[in-house]
Amino acid sequence: MIERWERKAEAAPVRRDKGSGAADRTISDVPLKPLYGPADVAQLDLTRDLGAPGEFPYTRGIHPTMYRSRLWTMRQFAGFGNAKQTNERYHFLLSQGQMGLSVAFDMPTLMGYDSDSPKALGEVGKCGVAIDSIRDMETLFDGIDLGAITTSMTINGPAAIALAQYIVTAENKGIPRAALGGTIQADILKEYIAQKEWIFPPRPHVRIIIDMMEFCTREMPKWNTISVSGYHIREAGSTAAQELAFTLADGFAYVEGAIARGLDVDAFAPRLSFFFNSHSDFFEEIAKFRAARRIYARRMRDVYGAKDPRSWQLRFHTQTAGCSATAQQPENNIVRVAYEAMAAVLGGTQSLHTNSMDEVLALPTEKSVEIALRTQQVLAYETNVTNVVDPLGGSYYVEALTAEIERQALDYFDRIAEFGGMIEAVEAGYPQREIADASYRYQRSIESGDRVIVGVNAFEKPDEVQSPDLLKIGVEIERGQARAVQDVRAGRDGSAVEASLAALKRACAGDANVMPALIECVRNVATEGEIVDAMVEVYGRYVEQTQF
């Protein structure tokens, strides 16, 4: 039967239009056949490799009934300008049916500089919200019940400081830290690989992350201590398999660090979560999510000895691919986002952010954020893709692709092991080089016309006029925020700040967990920049070995 088809297929004309050069590989360069059949899944063992949803190795999903029981969390990432503006956006999003908050911080906050630092010039409030001290964090969550809503914070270098600020904000409202639910990204390894918002060198930075994991394991049972992030690895230009491999390898480095600290793997692993990108190659993305769960479950059980099934389950948030959005014909991004969101849902995500159409040019307007949220609501309530668990399970193509992406990721694990582990591989610049190579190959495939990007290298509209409705962040935000942080410094007990910063330096230099000292600094209204400066005195700042 297949042989008969092959003869016909060989005789059929091959399409030679624009973009047909990409027909024999996925967007990540995985070779494809025109048809998949039983022979492609001959190695697939239904019990060993798939199991049932909610069962090891969780290829088909971590819950038995998935979205029939509970929809994914619609969690839009938001932050711009100052804490007051962002607080207003949060109230708007919650009033429109969003289920959890997700904080985007500005660059100075992510890099550990206060808004009045010369380094912050031109950057305050631009890519996210400026948070300098506990006062800003309090404004950010004004009127929001932190005991009821979960919050995700995308911050890595100063993650421990942001967590301390969140804890103290809640405590000032009478909510104990044990009641707090949410996620802090706290994935510093991917910063060296991709996002580049680091502060300290890798080893002390990882130590602080492990301190956070230890602290949260003891004191914040509902908090996801770390969100290991492939998103930025993909945005930096990686393939799907690289995203998967480097993200999981980062996650395993934290697991190994926590075990070395003496923590029981089953005490912390159930609170680990992941964050993936959903790019535009529909089936490849679904396969990536399925492969991720399978690799993770096996390794957590078989290598790290986890016994609690919750430690085997890879839970993840997904964001549609910012790098797939185009400045040209930006309304097309609405359509791209919808397909990418559907791939995430068919891949079994627990939480989703859909990008807004204008993000390639500026932070999104309220209108474009609303469309992005409605995209998720249409997907959840109108398309019926939520009715059946893992609907593509058993598809010859999807199963073969899942196995292929798994194989590529495992190959990367072997190469990382040759460096001695992920921290060593990162120090050697290995993932950075692999991603830069992939990014260049991808760009070349667009340049050559092998791969079509609608509105960019096909179906262009040369006389296109850009929408005037872009969100602008004025210089008055920077000036106001700089004045505010100066007022904060002037109006507090300076000697208490000095004493708590000195205690923090001692904790950093020694072996004690730094979290209590950080919380004390925040209580005394030390600014983020002051806290980071104190830690830099002990650890130094990281300088990248640049390559392209």
Partner 1 sequence: MTTTKAPARPLRVIVAKAGLDGHDRGAKVIARALRDAGMEVIYTGLFQTPEQIVQTAIQEDADGIGLSILSGAHMTLFPLVVEQLKAQGADDIVFFGGGTIPNDDAAELKRLGVREIFTPGAPLSEIIAFVERECGKRRELVG
**Site residues (vs partner 1, CB under 8 A):** 107-108, 110-111, 113, 119-123, 126-127, 191, 195-197, 235-237, 323, 326-328, 360-363, 436, 439-440, 443, 447, 453, 455-457, 466, 468, 470, 473, 544, 546, 548
Tokens of 522: 């925040």
Considering the complex, state which of residue 175 and residue 362 has its C-beta at the smaller distance from partner 1.
Answer: 362
Considering the complex, state which of residue 197 and residue 285 has its C-beta at the smaller distance from partner 1.
Answer: 197
Q: How far is CA 522 from CA 2, 452, 494, 497, in A?
A: 67, 50, 13, 9
Q: How far is CA 530 from CA 28, 133, 478, 514, in A?
A: 43, 10, 18, 15
Considering the complex, state which of residue 473 and residue 525 has its C-beta at the smaller distance from partner 1.
Answer: 473
Considering the complex, state which of residue 32 and residue 471 has its C-beta at the smaller distance from partner 1.
Answer: 471
CB hemisphere CA count around 380 (13 angstroms): 22
- Rounded to a whole number of angstroms, the minimum distance from the CB of residue 458 to partner 1 is 12
Considering the complex, state which of residue 61 and residue 128 has its C-beta at the smaller distance from partner 1.
Answer: 128
- Rounded to a whole number of angstroms, the minimum distance from the CB of residue 318 to partner 1 is 20
Considering the complex, state which of residue 433 and residue 483 has its C-beta at the smaller distance from partner 1.
Answer: 433
- Rounded to a whole number of angstroms, the minimum distance from the CB of residue 121 to partner 1 is 6
DSSP run (H or E) holding 422 = helix 422-427
Considering the complex, state which of residue 483 and residue 506 has its C-beta at the smaller distance from partner 1.
Answer: 483
- Rounded to a whole number of angstroms, the minimum distance from the CB of residue 313 to partner 1 is 31
Cβ-in-10-Å burial (0-12, 13-18, 19+) of 116 comes to: buried
Q: Which amino acid is at 243?
A: E
- Rounded to a whole number of angstroms, the minimum distance from the CB of residue 253 to partner 1 is 20
Q: How many angstroms separate the CA atoms of 225 and 213, rounded?
A: 6
Cβ–Cβ < 8 Å for 354, 375: yes
- Rounded to a whole number of angstroms, the minimum distance from the CB of residue 445 to partner 1 is 12
Cβ–Cβ < 8 Å for 138, 172: yes
Q: Buried (b) or exposed (e) across 313-324, using 16+ Cβ within 10 A?
A: bbbbbbbbbbeb
CB hemisphere CA count around 219 (13 angstroms): 14
Considering the complex, state which of residue 52 and residue 362 has its C-beta at the smaller distance from partner 1.
Answer: 362
- Rounded to a whole number of angstroms, the minimum distance from the CB of residue 205 to partner 1 is 15
- Rounded to a whole number of angstroms, the minimum distance from the CB of residue 194 to partner 1 is 8
- Rounded to a whole number of angstroms, the minimum distance from the CB of residue 355 to partner 1 is 13
- Rounded to a whole number of angstroms, the minimum distance from the CB of residue 248 to partner 1 is 22
E strand residue ranges, 357-482: none
Comparing C-alpha atoms, which of 483, 233, 512, 470 is closest to residue 367?
470
Considering the complex, state which of residue 190 and residue 353 has its C-beta at the smaller distance from partner 1.
Answer: 190
Considering the complex, state which of residue 211 and residue 235 has its C-beta at the smaller distance from partner 1.
Answer: 235
- Residues facing 394 on adjacent strands: none
Distance of CA 525 to the CA centre of its chain: 29
At 218, is the secondary structure helix, strand, or coil? helix
Considering the complex, state which of residue 120 and residue 186 has its C-beta at the smaller distance from partner 1.
Answer: 120
Q: How many angstroms separate the CA atoms of 465 and 201, rounded?
A: 45
Q: Is the omega angle on the peptide bond into residue 57 within 30 degrees of 0, that is, cis?
A: yes
Tokens of 514: 């730094």
- Rounded to a whole number of angstroms, the minimum distance from the CB of residue 384 to partner 1 is 35
Q: How many angstroms separate the CA atoms of 224 and 277, rounded?
A: 19
Q: How many angstroms separate the CA atoms of 44 and 56, rounded?
A: 15
Q: How many angstroms separate the CA atoms of 303 and 414, rounded?
A: 14
